[in-house]
Amino acid sequence: MVNEIDRRTLLRVAGASAGTAALASATVAGGNPAQAAGGAFRHGVASGDPLPNGVLLWTRLTPTEAAQPGSGHGPEAQVSWQISADPDFTTSLAQGTIRTGPARDHTVRVEVSGLEPATTYWYRFGYDGGWSPTGRTMTAPDLDAEIDRLRLGVVSCSNWEGGYFAAYRYLAERGDLNLVVHLGDYLYEYGTGELGTGGQVIRPVSPPHETLTLADYRIRHATYKTDPDLQALHAALPWAITWDDHEVANNQWSGGAENHTPGDEGDFAARLAAARQAYLEWMPVRAGVDGAIYRRLRFGRLADLSMLDLRTYRSKQNWGGVDDPDRTITGEEQMTWLKSGLATSDARWKLVGSSVMISRLDVGTLPAWLLGPLAELLGMSQNGVVLNTDQWDGYNADRNDLVDHLRATDTHDVVFLTGDIHTSWANEITTKSTGPWSPAAAEFVVPSVTTDNVDDFLRLRPDNAVSKLGASLIRATNPHVRWTELDGHGYGVLEVTRTACRMDWYHLADRTKPTTSSQWVAGWSVGAGSAKLRQESSPLS
């Protein structure tokens, strides 16, 4: 059984404006963070999975130029850390040292305890007389805190070669968020030129070949963490993260992946172990028994957040077995954990971080011109079969089991937060048992940060008439899809209050430009006690 993390988490916004300004000075406005301490902390700082009395802190040390990520070289080194109630560190509230070296790629993970609940803190790491960029984080509240509001930044699918991570910058600059939820595909495994922007490469990735070995995955993680906007968002807020498939290989399942050829690329188990090791070294996430990362965070009595792992335990995608009750997307143990947690929660809202879409998607009547790019987005077969077996559509028994359980236990106010599909959706979750007009839950799907969408595949400008028609056809075929937009790249902002749960979508003008603008495009909400969605007419204030 996974070691459940039942954290009753509120991330207080108090001091957000001052904290953002301090971070801008220390991390962004002052130039490339690689200059701090002579480049010793060139991959930034991060925090994650906060507790009422502590938080997980992360950084990566480069003690010598020989100690490059993935090299296996460089000395063992002692790294100090400090945490303070003010960004100037006039009073150090907690401090210590930790040893790192090539065995863990010189990454550093510190489990800080003894802190006050619901408090904003600043932290930094030290080595050889210099300091890292400053990070800002927040602890959780007392267990039964009555929380009025929570705001989350929600992101997914960031392809380095597809553009710049301006979406991260806009979230870092908001100053009103409590947590970042990343729903997977934090990085991509492809070699350079294999997954670009409409066939282009905006910035080449390292290593230039597909990632297969531990060194490859370490280098790829390191490359992503040199992006200044990614560093800024990690430094600004704690994260709750999960993986999808591209952290290993496309369309991964428990025993293999579509993008893995054993004869040419070696043993999949060895590749999986390498990818997982690098991920747990380089990401601020707690892992339970056997490296399991499905876990539950709690935000007072306002919301629980169940973060799922939909890759490690799933059955192989099977076009002919989508209704087979012996096939699973969650695995038996995780499904039991999920159903029990949802049914017994006393939180107003039950949020579920799902890396792939749970809502049904009937594409059987869509025209060929739209099926082409959708097949690319959904990982569908090119032989005329239109069902997407990589999402919950390929595991109907698990979806029906979960929805039937929600209905049988009278569990309401469940909202799925989803990535993977690169596009923006507001869905009502229905199955045969619910009928089309009695949804059991709601689902908000955020777009990709940079990975290709329908307009990119069709080589059309964003917001074109063809993509708009395609979105209309999807909604006509799927009445439970209340809204979808197929072209935009960007991010979501989720606001949770006692009366409603609302997602706002923001899209970038041009992902290929680091200084691109961001614009609000839609807002949809679900009221407490209902799973029916309603459209909002203006952005969150």
Per-domain residue ranges of the chain:
7-536
At residue 21, does pLDDT exceed 50? no
Q: Which residues of 170-184 are buried (b: 16+ CB within 10 A; e: fewer)?
A: bbbbeeebbbbbbbb
**Cα pseudo-dihedral 162, 163, 164, 165, rounded to 10:** -40
Alpha-carbon radius of gyration of the chain: 22
Among 3.40.640.10, 3.40.50.2300, 3.30.365.10, 3.60.21.70, name the CATH number for the domain at 7-536: 3.60.21.70
Task: In whole angstroms, give the CA distance from residue 296 to residue 347.
Answer: 12
Nearest to 81 by CA among 113, 51, 104, 105: 113
Task: In whole angstroms, give the CA distance from residue 87 to residue 136.
Answer: 8
pLDDT in tens, 54-93: 999 999 999 999 999 999 999 999 999 999 999 999 999 9
Q: Is the dihedral of CA 355, 361, 365, 370 positive or negative?
A: negative
- What's residue 368's pLDDT? 62
Residue type, 4: E
Report which of residues 118 and 73 the model is more confident about: 73
- What's residue 383's pLDDT? 30
Task: In whole angstroms, give the CA distance from residue 51 to residue 241.
Answer: 15
Report pTM.
0.91
Residue 251 — very low, low, confident or very high, per pLDDT cuts 50/70/90? very high
Indicate the pairing of strand 45-51 with strand 54-60: antiparallel
pLDDT in tens, 365-421: 666 667 667 666 755 533 333 357 899 999 999 999 999 999 999 999 999 999 999
Structure tokens at 101: 């070296």
Task: In whole angstroms, give the CA distance from residue 169 to residue 153.
Answer: 11
Residue 361 — very low, low, confident or very high, per pLDDT cuts 50/70/90? confident
SS3 assignment, position 403 = helix
**Cα pseudo-dihedral 442, 2, 447, 440, rounded to 10:** -10
Report which of residues 269 and 196 the model is more confident about: 269
Query: Are 216 and 222 in contact, with CB atoms under 8 Å apart?
Result: no
Task: In whole angstroms, give the CA distance from residue 120 to residue 11.
Answer: 8
DSSP 281-343: HHS-----GGG---EEEEETTTEEEEE---SSSPPPP-TT-TT-TT--SS-HHHHHHHHHHHH
In whole angstroms, how far apart are CA 58 and each of 82, 111, 134, 336, 492? 12, 9, 12, 31, 25
Q: What does the longest C-alpha to C-alpha distance in the chain come to? A: 65
Indicate the pairing of strand 303-307 with strand 349-354: parallel
Number of C-beta neighbours around residue 158 at 10 A:
28
Task: In whole angstroms, give the CA distance from residue 480 to residue 484.
Answer: 11
Query: Are 70 and 222 in contact, with CB atoms under 8 Å apart?
Result: yes
SS3 assignment, position 155 = strand
In whole angstroms, how far apart are CA 263 and each of 179, 260, 268, 393? 42, 9, 10, 30
Query: Are 289 and 296 in contact, with CB atoms under 8 Å apart?
Result: no
Residue 33 — very low, low, confident or very high, per pLDDT cuts 50/70/90? very low
Looking at residue 197, the DSSP 8-state letter turns out to be B
* Percent of the chain clearing pLDDT 70 (strictly above): 89
Residue type, 243: W
Looking at residue 230, the DSSP 8-state letter turns out to be H
